[in-house]
């Protein structure tokens, strides 16, 4: 058991981004190209189900990405996407253009390395030995997540379960249920870093949140799909669009020191195909400056989206593929973060907001949604 060490601060901070466990993703069905890469009807819808594929992308220089470096103050860890893609499915409601994560397939999905200061000693591999199925509540209801020490082989398993007090997880160490309690409701599980000193339990929370962290980044990327579709004409006319973020003063708050009362986010377009139209193959650069997302997240940094894919079946009027990926490696493709920070804001005294925690993200991945 001493192979797994506690580090409360990193566990807590990685949970900031995971505001919604396997949260709702919004893929807005407006925009673009058809299956041949040309223009088409701007009013298109979604299929009921999409397969997703998360893999290592290629940045603007054609260099393959291993994943992301995540830092919290002086604490840093590399989250490496496995060479084999992370796959699964999303379920969508075509009437509302809302999609939710439905499943994560079995296999190795992530490796955590260069992480001596986080709650595991050395490196770990995070795998899905049993397919994870997410229920209508947004919480996983079936499946298992395993965190394995590399080298060494000691492992923790998080098995979705029905506990006496409600839905939650069973936690075991090397196949033996932890004691005196092994089954925790989701509320209890999420509070373990506040209530437990057991390094196995803390490492279980950490492993779950690392997986959740990856899908929260996917959530951020999918929002760009809708942004591109909604503002394609403006991008074609101006090259760049900007949008104001939430306002601290309208929430009766004084912003943190050095932070603007209202920040801005912008998206610029690079017409890679030189056809004058936003469409497949193009690239986009997102910039966030003091962008406050009420009530508790402040975003700064750059996000580079390359190798845009959007295929539309014009006969059915639906999107059949969408994402950022390298269609012909090593041509650029993926979502890459540079100097990207996610800060937690809290009203620490009446009427005053302060930054309490900061996560830095660099690196990226390829993401593609396709028709099953």
3 state SS of 235: helix
Query: How many whole angstroms separate alpha carbon 43 and alpha carbon 235?
Result: 18
In a domain? residue 3: no
| Residue 2 located in a structural domain | no
pLDDT value of residue 276: 95
Angle, CA of 366, 292 and 81, to the nearest 5°? 20
Choice between 140 and 79, residue whose per-residue pLDDT is larger: 140
- Span 221-230, pLDDT tens digits: 777 787 788 8
CA distance 122 to 150: 7
Q: Of the candidates 176, 208, 177, 214, which has an alpha carbon nearest to the alpha carbon of residue 192?
A: 208
Whether the CB-CB separation of 120 and 4 falls below 8 Å is answered with yes
Instruction: Tell me: pLDDT of 352 over 90.
Output: yes
CA angle 217, 218, 219 (to 5 degrees): 85
Nearest to 101 by CA among 215, 187, 226: 215
Give pLDDT tens digits for 163-185: 999 999 999 999 999 988 899 99
In the chain, the number of structural domains is 1
Distance (Å, whole) CA 149 – CA 152:
6
User: What pLDDT score was predicted for residue 123?
Assistant: 76
| Distance between CA atoms of residues 18 and 157, nearest Å | 20
Range of the domain at 360: 8-370
Task: Report the alpha-carbon distance of residue 37 to residue 27 in Å, rounded.
Answer: 19
282-327, pLDDT tens digit by residue? Answer: 999 999 999 999 999 999 999 999 999 999 999 999 999 999 999 8
The Cα 130–Cα 113 span in angstroms is 23
User: Percentage of residues in the chain with pLDDT exceeding 70?
Assistant: 83
Report how far residue 293's alpha carbon sits from residue 233's, in angstroms, rounded to the nearest whole number: 26
Convert the pLDDT of each residue in 79-121 to its tens digit: 777 777 889 998 888 787 777 788 999 987 788 766 555 554 4
Which residues share a beta bridge with 269? 284
Q: What is the pTM of this model?
A: 0.79
Q: 208: Cβ–Cβ under 8 A, 6 or more apart, which residues?
A: 145, 158, 169, 189
Give the number of other Cβ atoms within 10 Å of residue 281's Cβ. Answer: 21
C-alpha closest to that of 68 among 111, 106, 116: 111
Please check whether residue 229 lies inside any domain of the structure: yes
pLDDT of residue 59: 87
pLDDT over 60 (residue 29): no
In a domain, 72, yes or no: yes
Residue 1 is assigned to a structural domain of this protein: no
């Amino acid at each position: 058991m001493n192979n797994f060490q506690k580090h409360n601060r990193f566990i807590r901070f990685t949970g900031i981004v995971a505001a919604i466990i396997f949260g709702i993703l919004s893929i807005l069905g407006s925009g673009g190209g058809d299956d041949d890469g040309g223009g088409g009807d701007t009013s298109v819808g979604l299929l009921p189900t999409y397969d997703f594929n998360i893999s290592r992308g290629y940045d603007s220089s054609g260099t393959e990405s291993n994943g992301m470096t995540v830092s919290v103050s002086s604490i840093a860890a590399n989250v490496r996407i496995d060479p084999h893609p992370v796959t699964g499915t999303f379920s969508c409601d075509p009437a509302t253009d809302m999609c939710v994560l439905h499943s994560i397939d079995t296999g190795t999905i992530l490796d955590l390395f260069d992480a001596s200061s986080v709650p595991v000693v050395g490196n770990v591999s995070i795998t899905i030995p049993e397919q994870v199925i997410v229920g209508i509540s947004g919480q996983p209801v079936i499946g298992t997540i395993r965190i394995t020490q590399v080298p060494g082989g000691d492992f923790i398993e998080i098995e979705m379960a029905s506990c006496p007090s409600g839905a939650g997880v069973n936690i075991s160490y090397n196949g033996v249920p932890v004691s005196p309690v092994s089954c925790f409701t989701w509320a209890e599980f999420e509070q373990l870093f506040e209530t437990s000193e057991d390094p196995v339990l803390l490492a279980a929370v950490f492993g779950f949140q690392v997986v959740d962290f990856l899908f929260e980044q996917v959530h951020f990327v999918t929002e760009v799909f809708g942004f591109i579709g909604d503002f394609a004409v403006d991008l074609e006319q101006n090259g760049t669009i900007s949008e104001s973020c939430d306002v601290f003063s309208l929430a009766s708050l004084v912003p943190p020191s050095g932070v603007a009362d209202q920040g801005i986010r912008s998206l610029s377009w690079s017409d890679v195909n030189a056809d004058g139209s936003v469409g497949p193959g193009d690239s986009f650069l997102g910039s966030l400056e003091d962008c406050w997302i009420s009530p508790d997240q402040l975003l700064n940094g750059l996000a580079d989206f390359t190798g845009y894919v959007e295929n539309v079946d014009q006969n059915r009027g639906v999107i059949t593929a969408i994402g950022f990926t390298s269609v012909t490696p090593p041509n650029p493709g993926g979502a890459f973060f540079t100097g990207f920070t996610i800060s937690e804001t809290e009203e620490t005294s009446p009427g005053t907001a302060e930054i309490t925690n900061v996560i830095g993200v660099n690196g990226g991945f390829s993401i593609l949604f396709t028709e099953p």
